[in-house]
Structure 1
Amino acid sequence: MGCQQVQLITLQILAILSSVAIAAQATPAIAKPGCDDHCGNVSIPYPFGMTQGCYLDDDFLITCDHSSIPPKPIYGSNVNVTKIDVEGQLHILQYIAYDCYGGMQQKTSTRYFNQPWLNFAKFTISSTQNKFTAVGCDTYAIFRGYKGDQVYTTGCLSICESIDSVVDGTCSGVGCCQISIPNGLRGINLTLSSYNKHEGIIDFNPCSFAFVTNQDEFNFSSKLYRELQNKTHLPLVVDWSIGKETCEVAQKNQTSYACVDKKSNCYEPDSTTSGYGYRCNCLEGYRGNPYLSGGCQDIDECVEGLHKCKKDCINTVGNYSCPCPPGYHGDGRKDGEGCQDIDECTDPRLNKCKKNCINTEGSYTCPDQSRVIKLAVGLAIGITGLLVGISWLVFGFKKRKLENIRKTFFEQNGGPKLKKLLSGREGSTETIKIFTAKELKKASDNYNKSRILGRGGYGTVYKGELADKTIAIKKFKIVDKSLTEQFINEVVVLSQINHRNVVKLLGCCLETQIPSLVYEFINNGTLFHHIHDNNKASAISWDIRLRIATETAGVLSYLHSAASTPIIHGDVKSTNILLDDKYTAKVSDFGASRLAPSDQTQLSTFVQGTLGYLDPEYLQTSQMTEKSDVYSFGVVLAELLTGKIAFSFDKPEERTLATYFLTSLKEGPLVNILDDILVHAAEQLEKVANLAIRCLNVKGDERPTMKVVEMELEALMRKVEI
């Protein structure tokens, strides 16, 4: 028998003796001898107790309320305890603050509210496990914390206008807000109020709520607006400790020193708060109640899976060992050397072979040499044949998998639907090319960030280089079926448009997870940048601006009346008007467009568009009409005249250019708001301003059609040419 085997057997004998010794110990107690250790379903570990002599001092007295079924433990006068951890946590139920208008179930202006408080003489409210939270859509909550003579005041605000704006799982200020609380607080007080008495939201949120609760047991949901009306308490965690002394001071008086078990130590959980006290902890390898003699019991890491042994595990008192089996060497640990195989064949002293020796995992064999040669040849032939067969299988599998992936992406990206829609429209499939993913990847230099031309609501546009032309690649960021519809919509819309002032669609790619559209490249940027960039604005005179406006109006007029099926653009703005090197307008981004059947003058759709350009009538009714494009074009005219952006946060009362433009013209002459470079053509400027005013009419029926707008602008253009 080898030395290693002797060591292994010795360790196993020690482990058996250790297990016998541990099993012989009594079941570890959590309370002092002769004391009740439960109240109802809640364990009451020492230093807490319920009768004289069973608790450390008055700070740890628990009263068991037997009038409840089951009985429930009470701390102090009325604090309901749900769990006590010897690690230093007291789990309780604390009152919720509420501020209701019409009571919990009514909808009147009557107000009902409370202002709960909680105070401990010795213990502190845990700042690591609790957070202050307020729930409501017209809510501001005040938190006051007390730490000796110090008072900490903080709070948070929660606002929302509808249940649809609330996002479950987050407390960022929309329907719910949440903040951390200071460390070492012995008392708290909560106050609630509102701004508008919950007017306009009382149907779904008549009440505001505030509470300090265990963050691990709280998950925000809009359902809480109703559920909290039927709750009075939520869980809260309190930190407890022994006395007011540090460990060093407490250990000098062994009579009152609480860490009585020999396998325990003392630590200070909060060294930042004076007089916080200390706690006791079982040493590593033990668990239990360190406040009782014999309370810390050995942990069997091997049985509980708490070890880091690579192979065998043997439990010892307060620890464990990781011996390697015969045929291996090392420390046996996963975080160390582990168990390495011993090559007995390299050392004649470790094997008993006469001639040949073959090492195996954990052992060795002594085979006949002729059998070894035959076995090696047979294995070589078998492995070669197996590898050839596997290679063919893998090649065929990868080929089929690639074909299936391309087919799946084609279907996911709306390929069948798009093909069906285009096949019924003459001329569409002849002009639109289906690009491969490889072609577009090469053209965009693997979608290099330096190639990005712009980003929009539906994706990112990259500059690409083909052998014969420069292109623009619009890569969609599809995450749901609604954006797939936007992709199909843009292809169908653009396939029906044949106009010199519309960005031409060259093709698309459907064989990747994210589909792409390919357009002609317009090299001179957007109208927005030329108007609002001080270095470029002076380059576009009034004559150029008037021509751009006329060309854009011509496109919209064509879409509304001359196209085979009327089309509403839906997102007319200066960033969607591109310019070539001759400042010719090219209208782009038809992702929000809608085909309007000939027997239908308006379309119902969820509200989408860009702030500052949105038709106010569309915002109220969600009905997109051709007059929605007229309003947006009116904002573009105002941009061309004033050189100002369509939406700004600088002036809260006049954030939109439309409001600023209309108000300014009522209060003074046009010259007061004109762009600095527009110093001539006063008569034309006045006529265009009046046209913009008509386009910006709040009532859609009173706005001109784009055909009328085009004709009036063309008339002004003819005067310029004369």
Structure 2
Amino acid sequence: MIVGDAIVVFLFANLIIATIGADNSTDCNRLCGAGKSGNRVNYPFGFSDGCQIRLNCSSSGQISLAGFDVRRLTRDSIMINFSAKCNRSIQDIKKLFGDYYALTWQNELLLQNCSSLVSNCSVSASLLENRFKLKGGCDFNKAGGDNLSCYPEGDGGNGVLSYENVSRIGCKNVFSSIFVDSLSDGNSNVSLQFETIQLAWWLRGKCRCSENANCPSLPLADGASGYRCQCNDGFTGDGFADGEGCRPACDTSKYISGHCGGIRIAVLVGGIVAGASAVVAMAVICYFFWRHSYSMKGDTSANRLLSEAAGRSRVPLYPYKEIDRATNGFSEKQRLGTGAYGTVYAGILQNDECVAIKRIKHRDTDSVEQVMNEIELLSSVSHPNLVRLLGCCIEKGEQILVYEYVPNGTLAQHLQRERGGGIPWATRVTIATETALAIAYLHSAIKPPIYHRDIKSSNILLDFEYKSKVADFGLSRLGMPESSHVSTAPLGTLGYVDPEYHQNFYLSDKSDVYSFGVVLVEIITAMRVVDFSRPQSEVNLATLAVDRIGKGRVDEIIDPFIEANRDSRILLSVHKMAELAFRCLAHHGDMRPSMAEVADELQHIGLTG
């Protein structure tokens, strides 16, 4: 059976590649590398002359552009590795300004040997020295560090830079680059990415987007504008009429066997004609023998624990075969996001139910504890604003959780304009209220209480009616009935962790209150929780908010989207929420309100505002 499974999987991999790989532009090669290990790119990228945006592919499968390694491609940017190097001519970056791509304003180029100081860097000189002093023997003191300059100065919006403006400033060398990025794993963390350049990409001419896609324009340095296609909410794909277009976010029906039967024989014959060697087939078979014996030894204990947890909780167990089919073999095209503990995929089960499937990344002791935690906690709660756990899968050494599918992304994505154009204030108040009611339910209606321990805007999911669903209970803990707190090492997300909990390891319901206070500030400001592009004293959003609210200067930090649509009632409501957030962010937990009090106050704000 193992040999048979190996051959079937080997051939099925060819089927998936051939099926998904097809698009409308057959004259463009979009695969770098061979087979399952190859890197596939979406339209308009590719590796041959017929591609709209030409990339390069090395023999090892590394993707590059203009001689620089590509770190990742997104729907609007190309992330480039730009290692630190002394005496690099500024002309070397000219290749990164092309007809279809250019540097964005989010980069900060570190320039040397300038005719005059261009701009002070947003990052301190000491941090730069610590970060780069070992890079190829480059020491700032020896490499003109005294006149180290940064460009550009300030934020130029969502447009792109021009090489003419960069070269005109009179600097001979470019040492490296810094990019401040919001992580793409679904968290609200912000990382300061050294030795990284972000390029925006676009196509020129008239929009050629598919149905269910929009066509945002990008102002270019030459005064023209480019365009990209993006699928509307609830749809996934590249969005281009000449690419794969848009399909419902969890509609995998065209990849399920019922639709593939007509081409299965052709693919198998094609694979045989292509001459898949016996050596490769034998290697696959040997791999499966090894993996089977290894997993039998290593996963027995974990599977037993998880099976017991599922049995106690009466959580349905899904066969791996159904999970694999629901996600089309965990296809990248169905990936919704990646977090610290796993990757979430959209899927559709045999009963046509859309689900979110989380595949645990590192199957070790910590991950088993995380999975058991979610199984046991989520199976014991029921609230309209908590995401539902539908089942789990622990076959083939995997640890997989199946949740209800919430289609409209996260609160963080909407506040950061990654989805949609902005949320009206009344809707924000409703989202805050529903979230507070869900957390209050965990604290007050459950015995013993549940402390979520990772409340953040990226763990608040929204449906198309903007109904709130609190998710991700991997870090949650049960409270002790006889104690007001639990002693445990502080975990959570940077910028949201209760400082008292961080200091003395006392986890309580007030720790969730603090984290929710940060979310309230996000709702008011739409600012990032941690942002190194802000002044040093304002990098942490909670610190910034406490300062402004405490001084009565809330108006300085209100989201411009709200500012543009406000009236006196909305402004009064914003100030009331700000005062509530201020109380939630009190340093000492005893000074903070309970979540039940927070929920009551938000309901009152909603009624009066």
Instruction: State TM-score, norm by structure 2.
Output: 0.50
AA of the residue aligned to 1:477: K
Residue by residue over 1:268-320, the C-alpha shift from the partner in whole angstroms, topping out at 9 and shown as x without a partner, is: xxxxxxxxxxxxxxxxxxxxxxxxxxxxxxxxxxxxxxxxxxxxxxxxxxxxx
Partner of 1:607: 490
Distance in 2 between residues matched to 1:535 and 1:421, nearest whole Å? 37
Partner of 1:140: none
- The partner residue of 2:591 within 683, 702, 708 is 702
Distance in 2 between residues matched to 1:179 and 1:658, nearest whole Å? 35
- How many correspondences in the alignment? 330
Partner of 1:527: 411
Do structure 1's residue 555 and structure 2's residue 425 form an aligned pair? Answer: no
Contact 2:409 2:419 in 1 (8 A): no
Partner of 1:450: 333
Distance in 2 between residues matched to 1:421 and 1:470, nearest whole Å? 25
AA of the residue aligned to 1:473: I
- The partner residue of 2:304 within 405, 410, 416 is 416
Instruction: Tell me: CA distance 1:410–1:690, structure 2 relative to 1, closer, same or farther (3 Å).
Output: same
Distance in 2 between residues matched to 1:514 and 1:579, nearest whole Å? 28
Instruction: Tell me: CA distance 1:579–1:535, structure 2 relative to 1, closer, same or farther (3 Å).
Output: closer
Cα shift at 1:714: 1.6
Distance in 2 between residues matched to 1:632 and 1:181, nearest whole Å? 43
AA of the residue aligned to 1:450: K
Cα shift at 1:604: 2.5
Distance in 2 between residues matched to 1:624 and 1:700, nearest whole Å? 10
Partner of 1:461: 344
Partner of 1:481: 365
Instruction: Tell me: CA distance 1:399–1:544, structure 2 relative to 1, closer, same or farther (3 Å).
Output: closer
- The partner residue of 1:472 within 353, 356, 364 is 356
Contact 1:646 1:656 in 2 (8 A): yes
Equivalent residue of 2:496, what SS? coil
Cα shift at 1:400: 12
Equivalent residue of 1:607, what SS? coil
Residue by residue over 1:62-92, the C-alpha shift from the partner in whole angstroms, topping out at 9 and shown as x without a partner, is: xxxxxxxxxxxxxxxxxxxxxxxxxxxxxxx
Do structure 1's residue 633 and structure 2's residue 521 form an aligned pair? Answer: no
Distance in 1 between residues matched to 2:320 and 2:551, nearest whole Å? 57
**1:223-622 alignment to 2 at 5 Å?**
411-413=300-302, 415-421=303-309, 423-424=311-312, 428-429=313-314, 432-467=315-350, 468-533=352-417, 536-538=420-422, 540-622=423-505
Contact 1:407 1:511 in 2 (8 A): no
Contact 1:503 1:586 in 2 (8 A): yes
Contact 1:409 1:512 in 2 (8 A): no
Distance in 1 between residues matched to 2:580 and 2:433, nearest whole Å? 12
Cα shift at 1:177: 8.4
Contact 2:310 2:316 in 1 (8 A): no
Instruction: Tell me: CA distance 1:564–1:177, structure 2 relative to 1, closer, same or farther (3 Å).
Output: same
Instruction: Tell me: CA distance 1:399–1:674, structure 2 relative to 1, closer, same or farther (3 Å).
Output: closer
Equivalent residue of 2:608, what SS? helix
Distance in 2 between residues matched to 1:646 and 1:500, nearest whole Å? 27
Equivalent residue of 2:347, what SS? strand
Contact 2:549 2:578 in 1 (8 A): no
AA of the residue aligned to 1:612: G
Do structure 1's residue 692 and structure 2's residue 608 form an aligned pair? Answer: no
Partner of 1:269: none
571-580 vs 674-683, greater mean Cα deviation = 674-683
Instruction: Tell me: CA distance 1:409–1:446, structure 2 relative to 1, closer, same or farther (3 Å).
Output: farther
Contact 1:635 1:658 in 2 (8 A): yes
Partner of 1:646: 529
Residue by residue over 1:307-354, the C-alpha shift from the partner in whole angstroms, topping out at 9 and shown as x without a partner, is: xxxxxxxxxxxxxxxxxxxxxxxxxxxxxxxxxxxxxxxxxxxxxxxx
Cα shift at 1:404: 7.5
Equivalent residue of 1:518, what SS? strand
Partner of 1:234: none
Residue by residue over 1:567-599, the C-alpha shift from the partner in whole angstroms, topping out at 9 and shown as x without a partner, is: 010000000000001000000011111122322
Cα shift at 1:716: 2.3
Residue by residue over 1:22-45, the C-alpha shift from the partner in whole angstroms, topping out at 9 and shown as x without a partner, is: xxxxxxxxxxxxxxxxxxxxxxxx
Higher relative contact order (CA 8 A, sep 6+): 2
Aligned-residue Cα RMSD (Å) equals: 3.0
Contact 1:545 1:640 in 2 (8 A): yes
Instruction: Tell me: CA distance 1:514–1:689, structure 2 relative to 1, closer, same or farther (3 Å).
Output: same
Instruction: State TM-score, norm by structure 1.
Output: 0.43
Cα shift at 1:565: 2.6
AA of the residue aligned to 1:536: G
Residue by residue over 1:347-366, the C-alpha shift from the partner in whole angstroms, topping out at 9 and shown as x without a partner, is: xxxxxxxxxxxxxxxxxxxx
Cα shift at 1:664: 1.5
AA of the residue aligned to 2:511: S
AA of the residue aligned to 1:416: R
Distance in 2 between residues matched to 1:158 and 1:412, nearest whole Å? 49
Partner of 2:86: none
Cα shift at 1:418: 3.7
- The partner residue of 1:682 within 564, 568, 571 is 571
Cα shift at 1:652: 1.4
AA of the residue aligned to 2:547: T
Contact 1:477 1:514 in 2 (8 A): no
Equivalent residue of 1:714, what SS? helix
Instruction: Tell me: CA distance 1:550–1:181, structure 2 relative to 1, closer, same or farther (3 Å).
Output: closer
Equivalent residue of 2:560, what SS? coil
Distance in 1 between residues matched to 2:363 and 2:375, nearest whole Å? 18
Contact 2:317 2:392 in 1 (8 A): yes
Residue by residue over 1:231-255, the C-alpha shift from the partner in whole angstroms, topping out at 9 and shown as x without a partner, is: xxxxxxxxxxxxxxxxxxxxxxxxx
| Percentage of matched positions with identical amino acids | 39
Instruction: Tell me: CA distance 1:642–1:408, structure 2 relative to 1, closer, same or farther (3 Å).
Output: same
AA of the residue aligned to 2:518: V
Cα shift at 1:449: 1.0
Distance in 2 between residues matched to 1:422 and 1:564, nearest whole Å? 20
Distance in 1 between residues matched to 2:549 and 2:134, nearest whole Å? 47
Distance in 1 between residues matched to 2:453 and 2:410, nearest whole Å? 18
Residue by residue over 1:134-171, the C-alpha shift from the partner in whole angstroms, topping out at 9 and shown as x without a partner, is: xxxxxxxxxxxxxxxxxxxxxxx999xxxxxxxxxxxx
Instruction: Tell me: CA distance 1:158–1:515, structure 2 relative to 1, closer, same or farther (3 Å).
Output: farther
- The partner residue of 1:623 within 506, 509, 518 is 506
Instruction: Tell me: CA distance 1:621–1:419, structure 2 relative to 1, closer, same or farther (3 Å).
Output: same
Cα shift at 1:534: 6.8
Instruction: Tell me: CA distance 1:509–1:479, structure 2 relative to 1, closer, same or farther (3 Å).
Output: closer
AA of the residue aligned to 2:469: K
Equivalent residue of 1:612, what SS? coil
Distance in 2 between residues matched to 1:450 and 1:601, nearest whole Å? 45
Distance in 1 between residues matched to 2:464 and 2:300, nearest whole Å? 39
Distance in 2 between residues matched to 1:697 and 1:412, nearest whole Å? 44
Equivalent residue of 1:434, what SS? coil
Instruction: Tell me: CA distance 1:400–1:460, structure 2 relative to 1, closer, same or farther (3 Å).
Output: closer
Residue by residue over 1:449-490, the C-alpha shift from the partner in whole angstroms, topping out at 9 and shown as x without a partner, is: 111101111111111111321111101112531222112111
Show structure 1 runs of 4+ deviating over 4 A: 176-182, 398-410, 421-424
Q: Unaligned regions of 5+ residues in structure 2, if any?
A: 1-124, 139-286
Q: Unaligned regions of 5+ residues in structure 1, if any?
A: 1-156, 160-171, 183-397
Partner of 1:313: none
Contact 1:550 1:710 in 2 (8 A): yes
Distance in 2 between residues matched to 1:718 and 1:180, nearest whole Å? 62
Contact 1:648 1:655 in 2 (8 A): yes
